[in-house]
């Protein structure tokens, strides 16, 4: 079983942008100030499969041990546990013999029916000839009666042969169905798992009894990993902007991941929703004994700061007496409030500056 441990850190800090080239004009509201929210989570395998049997039986053979990779083409089903099927195999052998007998009976009935059809045709022609002779007076009433009786007996025999053939065909189908049922029973006694998955747990040994529904082995898909992060609504809204960054805590290496799922139902206490991030296995450099699960990740997200501040390069900010001002293209000055500065510019509160404003250097 896997238990996901998530630490959520809501760290509201002004991010330090990369140096920018200063153009001749600037749209302040295209560059809002942002705060970086950080979350810590631990990776887990993308999929987990628990193998159990729904048939009470004894384990005959366990084909893989913990840590083994199931061989074969990825995704195909491969036998991993064989339950005792000696009784079912004997039942299969008996049903196969019964199927062979039924098939032979069907062939025999088909041949008999063919023979009866030939006899009926011959006797029908004989009856027609004797009737013609009787009409001319060349055949007696007794000969005609005998011909009619023989033709009637042949017709009845043909109908009996047809019924016998139908019954033999039905018996053959029933025997084939019994064979299929026994094959399916034996197949259910061979428990399978997808190729390319890794054995995470082995909970049984040959000779052990099987309780229906009891986990026998656990498999994990290590082709990708997932981390869960709990986010509030404003954080979820900016996920589509591409500002999501993932970093391995131990090495600081950046990792590429994509948002796979966003829960619709929030937590009743925190009002946060679960966000599942998928990470391809090739994104994580693993040491010899590492499997990719349980690796601490740091997820960071740039969220627009609720203060409403915008970023302005140094040369666009001017002063008029004691006031700081921005000048728009039409020459109008707007008073702003500087909050802080860095090497690239100022974070200012825009005041009455229009949202579509384009500013120029004063």
4 belongs to a structural domain: no
Are residues 120 and 182 both part of a single domain? Answer: yes
In a domain, 311, yes or no: yes
Q: Are residues 70 and 42 in the same domain?
A: yes
The strand pair at 345-349 and 310-313 is best described as antiparallel
* Residue 6: inside a domain: no
Rounded to 10°, the helix 141-188/86-136 angle is 160
Query: Domain end: 303, 323, 338, which one?
Result: 303
Range(s) of the domain holding residue 232: 34-76+209-303
Domain boundary among 188, 218, 236: 188
Neighbours of 343 (CB within 10 A): 8
Name residue, tokens 């987990």. Answer: 48
Pair 252, 286 in one domain:
yes
258 pairs with which residues across the strands? 278
Q: Which of 279, 303, 327 is the last residue of a domain?
A: 303
179 in the same domain as 242: no
Examine the domain organization and report whether 268 and 237 are in the same domain.
yes
Is the pLDDT assigned to residue 4 strictly greater than 90?
Answer: no
Q: How confident is the model at residue 71 (pLDDT cuts 50, 70, 90)?
A: very high
Q: Are 322 and 344 in the same domain?
A: yes
Task: Tell me how many domains the chain contains.
Answer: 3
Tally of helices (H runs) and strands (E runs) in the chain: 3, 20
Q: pLDDT digits over 31-67, tens only?
A: 887 788 899 999 999 999 999 999 999 999 999 999 9
Is residue 291 domain-shared with residue 315, that is, in the same domain? no
pLDDT tens per residue across span 103-135: 999 999 999 989 988 988 898 888 888 888 888
**Inter-residue contact 82 to 61 (CB < 8 Å):** yes
Same domain, 94 and 22: no
pLDDT tens-digit map of 184-219: 999 999 999 999 999 999 999 999 999 999 999 999
- Looking at per-residue confidence, does 99 or 355 come out higher? 99
User: Is 25 in the same domain as 38?
Assistant: no
The whole-number average pLDDT for the span 242-261 is 89
Residue-wise pLDDT tens digits, 284-332: 888 777 888 899 999 998 887 777 788 889 888 888 888 899 989 888 9
Task: Let me know: does 144 contact 57? Beta carbons within 8 Å.
Answer: no
What are the CA-CA distances from residue 111 to residues 3, 122, 341 (Å)?
69, 17, 102
Q: What is the pTM of this model?
A: 0.67
287 lies in the same domain as 311: no
Does the residue 277 lie in any domain?
yes
135-181, pLDDT tens digit by residue?
Answer: 888 778 888 888 888 888 888 988 998 999 999 999 999 999 999 99
Q: Which of 226, 355, 359, 241 is nearest to 303 (CA)?
A: 241
In terms of pLDDT, which residue wins out, 63 or 10? 63
161 domain residue, yes or no: yes
Handedness of CA 87, 88, 94, 97 (dihedral sign): negative
Rounded to whole angstroms, the Cα distance separating 35 from 30 reads 15
Same-domain pairing of 285 and 214: yes
Q: Is residue 255 one of the residues assigned to a domain?
A: yes
């Amino acid at each position: 079983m896997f238990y996901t441990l998530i630490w959520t850190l809501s760290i509201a800090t002004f991010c330090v942008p990369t140096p920018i080239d200063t153009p001749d004009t600037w749209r302040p509201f295209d560059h809002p100030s942002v705060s970086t929210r950080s979350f810590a989570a631990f990776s887990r395998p993308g999929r987990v499969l628990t193998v159990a049997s729904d048939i009470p039986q004894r384990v005959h053979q366990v084909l893989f041990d913990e840590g083994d990779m199931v061989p074969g083409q990825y995704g195909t089903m491969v036998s991993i546990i064989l339950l005792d099927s000696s009784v079912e195999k004997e039942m299969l052998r008996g049903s196969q013999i019964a199927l062979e007998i039924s098939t032979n009976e069907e062939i025999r009935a088909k041949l008999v029916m063919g023979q009866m059809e030939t006899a009926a045709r011959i006797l029908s022609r004989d009856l027609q000839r004797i009737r013609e002779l009787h009409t001319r007076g060349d055949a007696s009433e007794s000969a005609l009666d005998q011909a009619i009786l023989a033709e009637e007996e042949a017709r009845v025999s043909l109908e009996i042969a047809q019924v016998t053939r139908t019954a033999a065909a039905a018996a053959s189908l029933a025997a084939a169905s019994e064979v299929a049922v026994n094959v399916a029973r034996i197949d259910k006694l061979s428990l399978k798992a997808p190729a390319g998955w890794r054995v995470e747990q082995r909970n049984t040994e040959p000779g052990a009894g099987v309780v229906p529904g009891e986990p026998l082995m656990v498999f994990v898909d290590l082709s990708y990993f997932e981390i869960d992060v709990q986010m509030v609504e404003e954080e979820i809204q900016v996920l589509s902007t591409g500002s999501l960054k993932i970093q391995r805590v131990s090495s600081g290496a950046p990792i590429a991941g994509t948002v796979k799922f966003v829960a619709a139902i929030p937590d009743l206490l925190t009002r946060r929703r679960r966000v599942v991030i998928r990470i391809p296995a090739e994104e994580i450099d693993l040491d010899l004994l590492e499997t990719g699960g349980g690796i601490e990740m740091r997820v960071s997200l740039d969220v627009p700061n609720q203060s409403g501040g915008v970023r302005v390069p140094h040369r666009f900010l001017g002063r008029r007496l004691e006031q700081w001002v921005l000048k728009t293209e039409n020459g109008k000055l707007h008073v702003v409030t500087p909050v802080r500065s860095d090497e690239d510019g100022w974070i200012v509160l825009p005041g009455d500056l229009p949202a579509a404003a384009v500013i120029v250097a004063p």
